[in-house]
């Protein structure tokens, strides 16, 4: 029973459409009708501003962290669901949220939250990689994909050195999710039309 509970809760937590709800509750705006139409933090920054974007970023990160920690809670500890598996389920929920007609974000912040909940050093490394790339090129999409590549390299190294094969498999899956969800951005980057940020 606890196994089913963890799986369902992880998906529902991941499905919380932070950008949509913040926009509707506090700004009377459906961000799906503006900017890129995406529900993620980047479009929230673009449509609603820095404050809302920061709040949504934190919420999306915490979705992944909370889902990853679910199997460690005493009441659910006999669920036999690995924390990383619960985290991946939350990421799937974020990408295909039941609360937003299965049209979700690009999995960047929630994936980061999964890694924060399971192995915080990689979260710190990826945050630094993301910010350095963002500072250099001013493109959130490029910085997100760069961080995904760094995550893959870190996961591979960790697998070789410490036999953490499940972490490597999950990091590979999350990196693949992130890059695949940015395929339209990749096209715009090639064409030189990808929007750039000005605040960093």
pLDDT in tens, 7-24: 999 999 999 999 999 999
Is residue 38 a part of any domain in this protein?
A: yes
Residue 190 has pLDDT above 80, yes or no: yes
Residue-wise pLDDT for 30-77, tens only, equals: 999 998 888 888 899 989 999 999 999 999 999 999 999 999 987 877
User: What is the residue-averaged pLDDT of the chain?
Assistant: 93
Is residue 196 a part of any domain in this protein?
A: no
Residue 123 has pLDDT above 80, yes or no: yes
Query: To which residue do tokens 């992880």 refer?
Result: 10
Is residue 200 a part of any domain in this protein?
A: no
**How much is the pLDDT for 81?**
93
What would the mean pLDDT of 120-128 be, rounded to a whole number?
Answer: 95
**Tokens representing residue 15 in the block:** 């499905």
pLDDT band, very low/low/confident/very high, at 93 (cuts 50, 70, 90): very high
Residue 188 has pLDDT above 90, yes or no: yes
Is residue 181 a part of any domain in this protein?
A: yes
**How much is the pLDDT for 77?**
77
Helix (H), strand (E) at residue 71: none
Burial (0-12, 13-18, 19+ Cβ within 10 Å), 163: exposed
% of residues, the chain, pLDDT over 90? 84
Q: What is the CA radius of gyration of the chain?
A: 17
Q: How far is CA 6 from CA 59, 66, 119, 193, in A?
A: 19, 11, 20, 42
pTM: 0.93
Structural domain tally of the chain?
1
Is residue 153 a part of any domain in this protein?
A: yes
Angle between helices 120-137 and 108-118 (to 10 degrees): 150
- Residue 74 is part of which domain span? 2-191
Rounded Cα gap, residues 104 and 64, in angstroms: 14
| Number of separate helices (H) and strands (E) present in the chain | 10, 0
Is residue 198 a part of any domain in this protein?
A: no
Decide: 72 and 83 in contact? Cβ < 8 Å: yes
Rounded Cα gap, residues 159 and 167, in angstroms: 8
What would the mean pLDDT of 103-124 be, rounded to a whole number?
Answer: 95
């Amino acid at each position: 029973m606890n196994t089913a509970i963890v799986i369902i809760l992880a998906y529902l937590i991941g499905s919380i459409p932070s950008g949509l709800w913040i926009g509707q509750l506090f700004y009377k705006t459906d961000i799906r009708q503006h900017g890129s139409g995406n529900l993620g933090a980047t479009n929230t920054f673009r449509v609603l501003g820095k404050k809302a974007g920061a709040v949504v970023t934190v919420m999306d990160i915490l979705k992944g962290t909370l889902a990853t920690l679910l199997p460690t809670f005493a009441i659910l500890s006999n669920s036999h669901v690995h924390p990383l598996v619960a985290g991946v389920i939350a990421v799937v929920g974020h990408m295909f949220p039941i609360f937003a007609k299965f049209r979700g974000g690009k999995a960047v912040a929630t994936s980061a939250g999964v890694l924060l909940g399971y192995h915080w050093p990689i979260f710190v490394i990826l945050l630094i990689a993301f910010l350095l790339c963002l500072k250099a090129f001013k493109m959130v999409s490029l910085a997100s994909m760069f961080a995904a590549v760094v995550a893959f390299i870190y996961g591979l190294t960790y697998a070789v050195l410490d036999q953490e094969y499940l972490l490597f498999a999950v990091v590979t899956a999350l990196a693949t999710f992130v890059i695949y969800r940015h395929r339209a951005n990749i096209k715009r980057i090639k064409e030189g039309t990808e929007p750039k940020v000005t605040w960093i």
